[in-house]
Every structure is written in structure tokens, then in C-alpha cells.
Chain A
């Protein structure tokens, strides 16, 4: 029996993929962002700092016992929800949405954190009902967990993130064995809610939906970014246009190049080959998370890994999808690559948790103690909470 976490080749592969994507993101930001001389305003500088912090937390998380997260799940969720509530009152508004706290030179986006705490709480919640068919009551109560952050993010407004909360819940409930009848009912409800959603949408959201279906309706207005991104991606061709030839990015036809449309920048510079490299790296991460979920020795770990998988798949699909015109523009960041500290750090912690699940597979909880972990007293308390549940 293995007595302490020891990385295996698969773990090493995912770490390399993560680092590869971060590096590619940084290189891209260096091409399209402000130069390092701009200090903390420079995307490359800021992102490098966050990457450093994020990688440290990733390592810390990997070697910590993920089960500790389960014990403090509700606390973490509560804290993140408080943050999400406060941001509505004290946050700064950018691009028409109130999403960020201003903390000195950096901004913090509580909704990014909620993405992860929601996963922990849902994993914990469903893990409690292991071995039983999920009753409707249990399923209905589980829906209250995403309902809160969804409501709060819609107030910002941030439709895309609200969709993430919904999908993550749906995904974890699915893995946890929710009845297909219940899930089907939710699906049906969502579809029938679409007209109501249209009615509730802000005009800019409607524009985005309309231009998703036909960006040429308003090529200089709402459809501009979609069209230009498509041109940037397409013009990359097989091998890419290299540094000087990437005119869509370099002459700024493409906008929001550091976040929403960062993939288009990469695709223009590196072509189909580069796009495939990015997709493959994400593919390695997906495969890893999936393997971890399948091989997890406990439901909490399984659900958490699956939740992270759903989160990343959704983010990657929508983010790249809106760059290539198969998903509407929602402002969802490309994990690990888009400029944005909260997203990068939280994604890294979440991935760290997945690695932790892999590393701690089959290990008894906190015994022997991991090298890195909670102090003994906290561990005992946490264990007590867990046992009560």
C-alpha cells in the first residue's frame, strides 16, 4: 500500500499540459497586451504573477488531502457566496457588469471562486446520498445550491457564468446518479424557459444571440467581434501567419484579444496546427480529469473531479466556440490562457484538487499525514464534521 502521495506518469502529463497552456497564454499576451513597462497594467506582467501564485497553490492543493475540502465545503461556499453578494454593492463595473473587487493593483472576481466552491459543495452533498437512488427531494434540494449563485450572477449581469453554474450542477447530479427523469425534466424546463430568458435579457445580450446566428446583420456593431474573430481564425490557415503576418491581431481588427478572443489570436498566429496543439493540451487535461473521476475511490472525489471536468469542458467549448462562431459571445474566459487572475488561480486550484484526488487515491484519510496539510487540530475537527455527516 502506498503510504503517501506519489505522482504517476499521468499526473506528470497533466502538469506539463497545464504549464504548456499557461506558457502559450503568456506568449500570446506578450504579443497583444500592454508591454511589461506598463507595470501591473500590463497583462503579461499581471498574468505572470498570477500564474506563479496559481502554480504554487496548485502544488499545495495537489499534495493536500482533497477530502479536507469536503469538510469545509459549506464554509468555503458560504464565504464565496458572501463575496458574490458583496460585489454587487462594492464591486467595480467593467464592460457593463459589476463583477470585480478592486484589491490594490489587482482585481478579484468572486464568481470565479464560486465555480470551484459550488463543485465542492455539490460533491459533498451528493456524496452523502451514495448508494441510494437519488430521491426527488434530494435532487430538488441540490438545485438550491446553484440557484443562489445563478441568481447573484444574473444580477451583475453575467449570463455566461450563470450558465456555468447550471451546467456544473447538472453534470455532477448526472454523475451522482440523479434519475434521468429528473434531469430530463430540468432540460425540458430550461428549453421552455428560453423565451422567458429572451424577454428578461438585456438588449446587448439579445444582440449577441442574434449576431451569433448571423454576425453579418451588424458587421460594424454587435457582429463585429464575431466576424473579425472568424476572419482571424480562418486566415491562420494550416500553419499560421506567424508574427508579422497576423494582421488581424496586430492591427487590432480583433478586439478583446487578451480575454474573450485570445484563442483567435493563437489560431491566427499558429494556424490549424497551433489550434490543434491547444485542443490537444486541453484534451489531455479532460482525459486526466475523466480518468481521475472514474478511478476515484470515493464519491466525493469522483464528483469533484467530474465537476471540474464539466466546468473546464464547458468553458473551453464555449470560449473557443465563440471564437469560431459555434457558440454565442458570453465573455467566458479560456481557462489557463485568458488574461484574468481570478480565473487562472481558481482553475489551477481546481486542477490541483483533481491531482490531489489522483494522488490520494486509496490512501486513508490523513493517515499517515500528508506532507502538506491542515494542522492536526483542524484535521481532527474537520474529521469530526465529516463523520457526523
Chain B
């Protein structure tokens, strides 16, 4: 090989320039390495602890451990709800990529027979706190849970958990009181979020479940776990146990409640509707509270079908409403004692003051106010007026008599005594949806009806008709006060609150809503009238008379505007309110037979059964004809 050939291989052209250029490449390499080193210094040394924190946040997760919801018992300890273990399905939004959520939702919905859009919505709602799992299905069958678990690779972020659902016992009789739980209604989500309740939780939606939601709920525990990139738990790092919710013992006696329901049911059949309440007049404990017909709370807790709900919602008897506290009715003659107490207290009438009853009273304006007894009661004093329920007497002592120039109590004082007995505002019982009712006076009428108050309004108000509206609970509470000598209690529905170990945590105090502004003497005068009303020969409540106990009571026939019957009488609700034993009452009670006609016929016998049931402990035999379906003339 020649020298020139060799040099051609070596390359002799401008080596210096090539070395310079090589060095430049070397410079680029040094620059690149320096850039990497600088960046590594920045990431690892300068920001190292920050990234270590992020890695820690990646690997650890604090998840809420839901507490066990508190239970509900009757006063004797009969369990009314249980927490039953179920499989539920939860999604952790952080583990589901946003563009994958739709697919995951679709796959999951197919497996659990759910709605893909609902699952996707829940996941997207959960993104506000993406590491916290949310529940997407409440109660799936074991087999379904297993299938979901098997396909976990297709379902990132989806897990099966053991949880519980509410299973109610005695739902037919306790449904309206106990209520039920369910998902948070959308419009209240923000409010619950503020209270630290997660949006996928079940909350109390009705009854005691609702009014004592925070008592039942308990407090979340937390688990700190280490997870891998798929969100699967690697190990548990720390755990704080949840605090179980508190248990509530109602004042209701389950046995009494069931039998009282039975009494109403056998009388009302499947066409009638009514209410029965038994209170302890000495402390306001509600022992029985029946609104018939009612609803079973179990289907609601499980998510009621729309057909079932439609059936309940369209029933004209409105079984979804607890009529004991949410139903408003004219109290009829049972309200006459307000006028009586007021007249005595204000010295408008003496016990001996007598009024001539001709069966009606005609005002100069031409309006005629009838007595229920068209032939008239003759000369009546307070005692007879109460026991025979003479309307004309109460017209006189309330609105006065333009002919005898007898000065009545007047609308203002009548309303004042009505309020004193607790009417016109909710009793404050710890149940949702209690209504206030109406104690009318001229202000109320002007404001609500834009019409002036007339004497006839006073007459109507005195006999519990016209504008007066009361709940059965308000009425029985008034009679409890009469029976106990004048103390109006806030009705108690919760007897005590215990923790999971049976330790009593709280006893809701007996709350005195105030002394009724009626002297004990006057109360006992009224009470004597009530005893006579049941036990006297002329008493309107004689059908309630029983050999078991001496009771005091009052009938009421509350007419309301509606289609008239074949004889042309307006429809009316039948009331019977009272207490027993008359001298030292242990119970106060009310029976309302809606659309039942006259109180003395429809309500009094049921009230007698109710009282006998309480004092004997057994359901008395059927001694009367059940309520007939109302026979109404068309138009």
C-alpha cells in the first residue's frame, strides 16, 4: 500500500478545523449533561422533600370508615330497625381516568343492572374529593358482587364493600313514626356536605330517622392505607375507629301501637281513615300514635318502585301523611272547652250561669246558628252544656247574645285561650312536618281572608268550626292539660338515647310548654263536665262509657265543606278526646274518624275500645258495626 493510499484513509484535510468542530460537539455533550445534572439537582435536592411529599400522598390514602347507624327501639326495648349486612359497590374517582369513566360506568351498569349515566354522574360528582370512595350501588346480590370482583381488571377504581342497609320491623304500624333512610335529595346536598355528611350516604328522610339524623349517624373513622398505582390496598398504616351512632328508645309502646292500629283497622276497614293517640298526661310521653292508613317504611328504605309509590300517593286517604301531626281538621265540639275555660276564667260566666237553648240562635243580621239538637236543650248551665255539648250555650258565652245583652268572651280572648291551650303553633314534638293549625281572630281573618270579623265567626270558633284548624296531637295535648290540672307538655317521642353499649347518654327532658292560664278550680269544673259527658244519662259521649275505668271525654262532630250526603248533611269528622281515669289520669287520648259522621256514634266506641285496651291490655271484642263507606249524593 502506497503512502498516498494510506494518507487517503487517514484524511489529511484540515484536521484542526475538524477537531474544533469535534470539540464543539463535545461542548454540546457537556452542556447536555450539565443541563441534566442541574435539573436533577433541582428536582432531587432543592425540591426533593416536596416530591417526597407527593410520593407519600400517592402511596397513602386516608379513607373514611362509615360509622354504624344508631338503632331504634320502642320504650320497652322492642327493636324497630336493624342494620343488615349487604354488599355495596364503591368507586374511587381518583383511580378512574376521566376519559375512561364512561366505559367503566357502562361495564359496571351492565353487571349490576344499573343505569350507566347515574354511575357516571356519581363518579363525576365525587371528583371534588377524588381519593374518597363513593358508593355507586347500595345493595347488590352476593353473586353480582362476586362477578364485579372477578372483573376488577376491567373496572379500575371499583371495589366491593360490606356495608349495611336498614331493615325495619313493624313497618306497617311504625312506618310513619320511624320513617326511613335514603339518598340525600339533590337540593339538600350542599347543606349535608357542610355538615360533613358524604353525598352518597343514606340519611333519614322521614320520621324519627329524619329528625334524629345527627344522633343516629355517629362519626366517621379513618383508615390510613398504602395503595399501589391501581389503588389496591397494600397494607394498613393506621386506623381510627368510627364512633357508632346512638340508639334511640321511643316513648311509643310497640304493643299498644299495634293493637291500637288493629282497633282502627277493624273499624275503618279499607275505606276509612282515622287517627288515634295516647299520651301520658303527666309528662307528655306519646305512648301510641296511629295514623291509619299508613305506609310500610321498608320499601322506601330499599328504594320504592314507582308503581308502589304511585299507589300510595294517589290513595285519597293520603297514607303517606302522618295525620296525627300533619293533618289539620276543625276540632268541632271538642274545642268548646276553650270557650268554657275562658268564660270562667274571665268571669264572663259563672258555673251557674244559665242560657236558654231553643235549638238555634238567630243574629239580627239574619244569620241562623243551629244547635246540633234542633229541639233545643232548654235551660243549660256550664255542666250540662259540656256534657250535652250545647252549641247555643257556647255561642252565648263566646260571642254574646244580642237579645239578652249577655256579654260574651269575644274573639280576642277566645283566641288567646285557644293559644294558651297550645293551638295555633306546633307542639314541638321531635318529628318532621308538624303543622301549626289556626286559631282565628280578626287579625288572622283580615290578613288571610281579607274579610272583617263578625260575631258569627266567634260563634263558629267557639264550637271548633269554621276557621279553627287543629292537629289531633294538639287536641289530645289540650285534654292532657285539662286532666293534669293545667300543664301543657311538649309531647315527647324519644324516651332516652343510649350508646351502643346500653349506656344512657341523654334523656330528653320533660318540657313544660307553660301553665294554661286557667285556675285549678275552673279546670276541675270543666273536668266534671267531661266526666258527665261520658257517664251522665244525657252525655253525648255515653257510647264511650266503660266499666273498666271512669273516663272524662268529649265528642266532636266537625263539619267540613264537601259533598253532602243523601240526607243533605255536610260531611263531618268524628272526634272523641278525653283522659282516664278521670280523677287522676294516666292517659289522655284522641280518636278521629275521618268522614265518620257524628263523634258520639263513630269515634266514641273506638275511644272506649282504646281506653279498655290500655287498662286491660287486650283488644276488647267488637261491639259495634264497622264504619260504612260514605254514601254521598252526587254533586
A: residues with CB less than 8 A from B are 67, 127, 130-132, 171, 174-177, 220-221, 228, 230-238, 241, 247-248, 251-255, 267, 271-272, 275-276, 279, 282-283, 286-287, 290, 293-294, 297-300, 302, 306, 309-310, 313, 316-317, 320-321, 324-326, 364-365, 367, 386-387
> Would you call B52 and A326 a contact (CB within 8 A)?
no
Q: Nearest A residue to B57 by beta-carbon distance?
A: A231
- Given A130-B11, A251-B234, A235 and B55 contact (CB-CB distance below 8 Å): yes
Q: Nearest A residue to B94 by beta-carbon distance?
A: A220
> Would you call B54 and A235 a contact (CB within 8 A)?
yes
Q: Nearest B residue to A127 by beta-carbon distance?
A: B11
Does B99 sit at the interface, judged by CB under 8 A? yes
Does B40 sit at the interface, judged by CB under 8 A? yes
> Would you call B26 and A234 a contact (CB within 8 A)?
no
Interface hits, B20-73 → A, CB 8 Å:
21-26, 28-29, 32-33, 35-37, 39-41, 43-45, 47-52, 54-56, 58-59
Q: Nearest B residue to A305 by beta-carbon distance?
A: B22
Q: Which residues of A contact B97 (CB under 8 A)?
A: 220-221
> Would you call A272 and B22 a contact (CB within 8 A)?
no
Q: Which residues of A contact B41 (CB under 8 A)?
A: 272
Interface hits, B75-111 → A, CB 8 Å:
94, 97-99
Q: Which residues of B contact A237 (CB under 8 A)?
A: 44-45, 48-49, 52
CB distance from B435 to the nearest CB of A (A): 51
CB distance from B237 to the nearest CB of A (A): 12
Q: Which residues of A contact B44 (CB under 8 A)?
A: 233-234, 236-238, 267, 271-272, 275
Q: Nearest A residue to B27 by beta-carbon distance?
A: A290
Q: Which residues of B contact A130 (CB under 8 A)?
A: 8, 11-13
Q: Nearest B residue to A248 by beta-carbon distance?
A: B55
> Would you call A131 and B43 a contact (CB within 8 A)?
no
* Chain B 416-429 interface 0/1 with A at a Cβ cutoff of 8 Å (1 = within): 00000000000000
Cα distance A231–B44 in the bound complex, in angstroms: 9
Pairs A-B, 6 closest by C-beta atoms = A234-B51, A131-B13, A299-B11, A237-B48, A235-B55, A251-B228
> Would you call B29 and A309 a contact (CB within 8 A)?
yes
| Pairs across A and B, CB under 8 Å, 21 listed | A130-B13, A131-B12, A174-B21, A175-B25, A177-B21, A228-B58, A231-B54, A233-B44, A234-B43, A238-B44, A247-B55, A247-B56, A251-B229, A253-B59, A275-B37, A283-B33, A293-B25, A302-B18, A313-B28, A321-B39, A326-B36
Does B9 sit at the interface, judged by CB under 8 A? yes
Q: How many of chain B's residues have a CB under 8 angstroms from any CB in A?
A: 53
Q: Which residues of A contact B24 (CB under 8 A)?
A: 174
> Would you call B32 and A313 a contact (CB within 8 A)?
yes
- Given A131-B13, A221-B99, A251-B229, A235 and B33 contact (CB-CB distance below 8 Å): no
Q: Nearest B residue to A366 by beta-carbon distance?
A: B1
Q: Nearest A residue to B28 by beta-carbon distance?
A: A313
Does B285 sit at the interface, judged by CB under 8 A? no
> Would you call A177 and B9 a contact (CB within 8 A)?
no
Q: Which residues of B contact A171 (CB under 8 A)?
A: 25
> Would you call A233 and B29 a contact (CB within 8 A)?
no
Does B6 sit at the interface, judged by CB under 8 A? yes
CB distance from A244 to the nearest CB of B (A): 11
Cα distance A358–B36 in the bound complex, in angstroms: 28
Residue from B5, B29, B32, B59 in contact with A247 in the complex, judged by beta carbons closer than 8 Å? B59
Cα distance A365–B47 in the bound complex, in angstroms: 55
Q: Which residues of B contact A238 (CB under 8 A)?
A: 44-45, 48
Does B17 sit at the interface, judged by CB under 8 A? yes
CB distance from A183 to the nearest CB of B (A): 10
Cα distance A282–B29 in the bound complex, in angstroms: 10
Q: Nearest B residue to A295 by beta-carbon distance?
A: B19
Does B230 sit at the interface, judged by CB under 8 A? yes
> Would you call A131 and B36 a contact (CB within 8 A)?
no
- Given A297-B10, A298-B11, A313-B29, A175 and B48 contact (CB-CB distance below 8 Å): no
CB distance from B50 to the nearest CB of A (A): 7
CB distance from B157 to the nearest CB of A (A): 10
> Would you call B9 and A365 a contact (CB within 8 A)?
yes
> Would you call A233 and B51 a contact (CB within 8 A)?
yes
Residue from B10, B37, B228 in contact with A279 in the complex, judged by beta carbons closer than 8 Å? B37
Does B14 sit at the interface, judged by CB under 8 A? yes
Q: Which residues of A contact B25 (CB under 8 A)?
A: 171, 174-175, 290, 293, 306, 309-310, 313
Q: Which residues of B contact A313 (CB under 8 A)?
A: 25, 28-29, 32
Does B226 sit at the interface, judged by CB under 8 A? yes
- Given A234-B51, A235-B51, A267 and B22 contact (CB-CB distance below 8 Å): no
With a 10 A CB-CB cut-off, give which of A252, A271, A290 has the most chain B CB atoms.
A290
Does B224 sit at the interface, judged by CB under 8 A? no
CB distance from B71 to the nearest CB of A (A): 40
Cα distance A321–B33 in the bound complex, in angstroms: 10
Contacts A251-B234, A324-B39 aside, 11 further interface pairs with beta carbons under 8 A come to A127-B11, A131-B14, A174-B25, A247-B55, A247-B226, A251-B58, A275-B40, A313-B32, A317-B33, A326-B36, A365-B9
> Would you call B98 and A220 a contact (CB within 8 A)?
yes
Does B619 sit at the interface, judged by CB under 8 A? no
* Chain B 227-270 interface 0/1 with A at a Cβ cutoff of 8 Å (1 = within): 11110001000000000000000000000000000000000000
> Would you call A290 and B22 a contact (CB within 8 A)?
yes
Q: Which residues of A contact B1 (CB under 8 A)?
A: 364-365, 367
> Would you call B6 and A364 a contact (CB within 8 A)?
yes
Cα distance A75–B431 in the bound complex, in angstroms: 93
Q: Which residues of A contact B19 (CB under 8 A)?
A: 294
Q: Which residues of B contact A230 (CB under 8 A)?
A: 43, 51
> Would you call A276 and B226 a contact (CB within 8 A)?
no
- Given A238-B48, A298-B11, A321 and B36 contact (CB-CB distance below 8 Å): yes
Interface hits, B250-305 → A, CB 8 Å:
none
> Would you call A234 and B37 a contact (CB within 8 A)?
no
- Given A237-B45, A283-B33, A320-B36, A132 and B11 contact (CB-CB distance below 8 Å): no
Residue from B12, B33, B47, B99 in contact with A282 in the complex, judged by beta carbons closer than 8 Å? B33
Cα distance A325–B42 in the bound complex, in angstroms: 11
Q: Nearest A residue to B98 by beta-carbon distance?
A: A220
Residue from A177, A254, A275, A386 in contact with B17 in the complex, judged by beta carbons closer than 8 Å? A177
Residue from B9, B13, B17, B230 in contact with A132 in the complex, judged by beta carbons closer than 8 Å? B13
